[in-house]
Structure 1
Amino acid sequence: MPLEAIIILTVGAASFIRGVSGFGAALIIMPVLSGLTSIYVAAPLVAILGLTIDTLLCLYYRRSFDWGLVGKLWLGSLLGIPLGFVMLRFLSGNWMLLALGLMIAAYAVYALFDPVMPVLRSRRWMYGTGFLCGALGSSYNIPGPPIILYGSSQQWSQEKFKSTLSVFFWGNAVLVVTGHIVQNRLTETVFQQYLIAIPSMVIGLSSGIILSRFFDPLLFRRIVLVILIFVGIRLFVLGLQS
């Protein structure tokens, strides 16, 4: 199958899942494209696709933003970024991925059977969640799991869940894309593949959003938990491969 067709299908499917659940696109696109091209093409491509998706979702869910919550998460993230650099230098990446993947999958399996999960009401959890996101983002480029787990524990509505994740990821995506620009990684090849992916991205994202409107809160939560299980397994496998 031609590379262009694989890009279209992969980005379309990943964008659909992002539209349905509010997360997960990069974990689908990155392994596929990095195996077909190179990490130096796939990483900036995924970054600008992610920034585009985050921007569209921020605009769509703009009325559901909780700026106080997002501000606390961003502050915690900024404080956690230096720790991530320390982790990257002194801790084994494969063990971190193994532990994180196992923790996410175990939580999702446990929560899927509808036990009574405690709602974390203290503001400290918001700062702590952002702190972990910043540390994992600057070390292993996976800032999403802590805020996804936190959002799931809070039993947010679908709109609040997606809007909070989107605006938080948007801030992270801006920094990542800026880093690629500084390192001159946004090459002509990256932009060509980006232009190829845009139509399927828009179709997949909009289709996922439209379909998700028909989900009741319980179904939406279960979909999020099932995707979390796959995310956890994927991180665990990456740890084994490392």
Structure 2
Amino acid sequence: MSMTVADLTGLFNQLAFTPLDWVLIELGVIGAYIVFGIAGFGTALIAGPVLINFMALSRIIPLLVLLDFIAAFGNLLPSRRSVVKAELLRLLPCMAVGCTVGVVFLLNLKSDILLLLMGVFITAYALYSLGVKIRPTQLAAGWAIPMGTIGGLFGALFGSGGFLYAIYLNSRLPSKVQARATQAALISCSTIVRLSLFLLAGVYAEMPLLLLAACLFPAMVVGSWIGRSLIMKLSREAFVRLVTWLVLASGIALIGRYLST
């Protein structure tokens, strides 16, 4: 069944965004994928506080999963030979369980509760990132169970569980190249699992959501390209720390917004 210009116009009208809204949304997505290009995760931490002013969290996460699906494979392809399969296979089953539970919560909790939970989650993550100076030199393999499960849960519920995978892999693998490649593979698998669960739940039956994803695709490409370029020119640690301060401010703002309603 072909789509006419009138049909497309009707879908755009359903989105109900002003020109200024579009600018803010596009900039938020570009910023999110700059961070993704550098750190390999964190799109919802950056885009979430922007997008939540225009749509419910239960729509934001499926939207970002669609974009993450493409971006993650873009990160994985150049480094796929460095993936440590033993660690990947250790984390995958736990991640799948966490994703399933997270999707159920996301589609059934009230939006105001999700707003508060996201604010608390983002604030806690930022405070942890800023406060913890020393990472464990070596985690036991058994840590894959809580890290994988909670990472999957946070990934489905808030769109960002990648920092837990990063903590685990960076403590397990001596090579940063291996850790980054394995994390990219895990994020790719995570997006496939979440995408499949959202498809089964009928989330992507909404044409306006698919149209919005298509409109934001160029912003994702631009942001990812900038992020991969920046990582070659500046300290990843310094950039991520600056972004973490911005994430902290966003989390506090979300909690404030919940308390003021």
Q: 1:209 to 1:107 in 2, by over 3 A?
A: same
Q: CA RMSD in A?
A: 3.6
Deviation at 1:48, TM superposition (A): 0.5
SS of corresponding position for 2:203: coil
2:213 pairs with 1:199: no
Corresponding residue for 1:32?
Answer: 50
The structure, 1 or 2, with the larger RCO (C-alpha pairs under 8 Å, 6+ apart) is: 1
Corresponding residue for 1:119?
Answer: 137
Corresponding residue for 1:177?
Answer: 195
Could you tell me which amino acid in structure 1 is paired with residue 45 of structure 2? Answer: L
Aligned length: 235
Corresponding residue for 2:231?
Answer: 212
Work out which of the residue numbers 52, 61, 82 in structure 2 matches 1:64.
Answer: 82
Q: 1:150-197: CA deviations, max 9, x gaps?
A: 345568655334323322122221122223222333222122222222
Work out which of the residue numbers 144, 148, 158 in structure 2 matches 1:130.
Answer: 148
How do 1:16-165 and structure 2 match up within 5 A?
16-39=34-57, 41-78=59-96, 80=98, 101=122, 103-111=124-132, 117-137=135-155, 142-151=160-169, 153=171, 158-165=176-183
Distance in 2 between residues matched to 1:103 and 1:39, nearest whole Å: 18
Distance in 2 between residues matched to 1:74 and 1:190, nearest whole Å: 28
Structure 1 or 2, whichever has the larger Rg, is: 2
Could you tell me which amino acid in structure 2 is paired with residue 70 of structure 1? Answer: L
SS of corresponding position for 1:57: helix
Report if the CA contact (8 A) 1:118-1:153 is conserved. yes
Could you tell me which amino acid in structure 2 is paired with residue 197 of structure 1? Answer: L
Report if the CA contact (8 A) 1:117-1:153 is conserved. yes
Q: 1:16 to 1:83 in 2, by over 3 A?
A: closer
Q: What's the TM-score, normalizing by structure 2?
A: 0.71
Distance in 1 between residues matched to 2:147 and 2:171, nearest whole Å: 12
Q: 1:183 to 1:132 in 2, by over 3 A?
A: closer
